[in-house]
């Protein structure tokens, strides 16, 4: 099968690409190579994909905001499935530059949908976010929970979901939107909490929590996210829907920091700083819809996942840590 992964040089996109290549598919990655974080991480991601796919893997530098590029990539490669992982990430970054976020996360998705319709793409799988929910009315979030996003990032993701739904309804373009809950794992962005905690602990520094530490997160290990995405090659049961992809568990940021301290063996105390703007207080996914429709079942607990990440960090410290420390 010929598959396009947009944003495939990024953290989640590269892991999905590796999974697709390991399953025997031909994969084209489109990525703009925006230096939102150090591009050496994206270069490592692409190298892993080349090693996994050989001549079944190709990379094109370009943006989903460029309609001509999207049309050329989809037409020239006979693309059957599109995994849209391209996005301007970051809740706080979206507060600082909302127009950039809208252009990439909303207009870019519309470009993909129009081209997918024109070239009869079989399915578009779009990466959405738990940020669409905003302030919790109840927990865990199910897909019927009110959507009151608290940041331009969340607004852009919710708007893109509506475009996917409408294109599925009026143009018969099969779409699925996966609402990710704080994905983490090897090669993750260097500015994420788990990365920062690990880096600081391994360097004898206190992990810094922004806020009181009582906020909770549903952290999802990247292997579980890949499994959910690959399931969508096997069934059309989820077409036209949105689905949560989370761990179905939560941990306080205090507990997370303490676990990283334990996993690294660091002799440090946890430090605290002011809470950051637009961050959600709590996240917790109800994954029953994904389980019912595609058989999704997360397999990695936060404690096991953090331990695996710390072990990976140690093994890759020579190239990864300097990039983290510069972030």
Active site amino acids: 153
Q: For 142-150, which contacts have Cβ atoms below 8 Å and span 24 or more sequence positions?
A: 142/244, 142/286, 142/288, 142/289, 143/179, 143/241, 143/242, 143/243, 143/244, 143/286, 143/289, 150/278, 150/280
d(CA 42, CA 189): 10
d(CA 63, CA 55): 23
- The DSSP bridge partners found for residue 84 are 6, 126
Residue among 232, 258, 256 nearest 243 (CA): 232
SS3 148: strand
d(CA 112, CA 114): 6
Which uninterrupted H or E stretch holds 118? helix 108-118
* Max CA pair span of the chain: 59
Which uninterrupted H or E stretch holds 53? helix 39-53
């Amino acid at each position: 099968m010929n598959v396009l992964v947009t944003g495939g040089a990024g953290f989640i996109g590269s892991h999905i690409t590796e999974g697709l290549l390991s399953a025997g598919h031909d994969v084209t990655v489109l990525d703009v190579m925006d230096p939102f974080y150090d591009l050496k991480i994206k270069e490592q991601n692409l190298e892993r994909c080349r090693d996994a796919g050989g001549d079944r893997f190709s990379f094109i530098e370009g943006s989903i905001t460029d309609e001509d590029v999207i049309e050329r990539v989809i037409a020239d490669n006979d693309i059957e499935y599109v995994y849209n992982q391209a996005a301007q990430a970051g809740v706080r970054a979206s507060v600082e530059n909302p127009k950039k976020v809208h252009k990439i996360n909303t207009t870019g998705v519309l470009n993909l949908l129009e081209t997918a319709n024109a070239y009869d793409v079989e399915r578009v799988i779009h990466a959405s976010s738990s940020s669409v929910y905003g302030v919790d009315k109840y927990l865990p979030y199910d897909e019927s929970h009110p959507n009151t996003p608290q940041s331009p990032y969340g607004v852009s993701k919710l708007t893109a979901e509506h475009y996917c739904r409408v294109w599925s309804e009026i143009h018969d373009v099969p779409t699925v939107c996966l609402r990710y809950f704080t994905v983490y794992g090897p090669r993750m962005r260097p500015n994420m909490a788990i990365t920062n905690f690990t880096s600081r602990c391994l360097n004898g520094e206190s992990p810094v929590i922004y806020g009181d530490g009582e906020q909770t997160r549903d952290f999802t290990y990247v292997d579980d996210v890949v499994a959910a995405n690959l399931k969508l090659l096997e069934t059309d049961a989820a077409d036209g829907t949105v689905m949560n992809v989370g761990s179905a568990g939560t941990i306080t940021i205090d507990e997370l920091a303490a676990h990283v301290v334990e996993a690294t063996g660091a002799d440090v105390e946890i430090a605290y700083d002011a809470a950051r703007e637009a961050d959600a207080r709590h996240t917790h996914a109800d994954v029953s819809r994904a389980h019912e429709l595609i058989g999704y079942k997360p397999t990695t607990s936060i404690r096991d996942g953090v331990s695996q990440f710390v072990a990976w960090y140690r093994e890759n410290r020579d190239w990864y840590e300097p990039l983290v420390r510069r972030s």
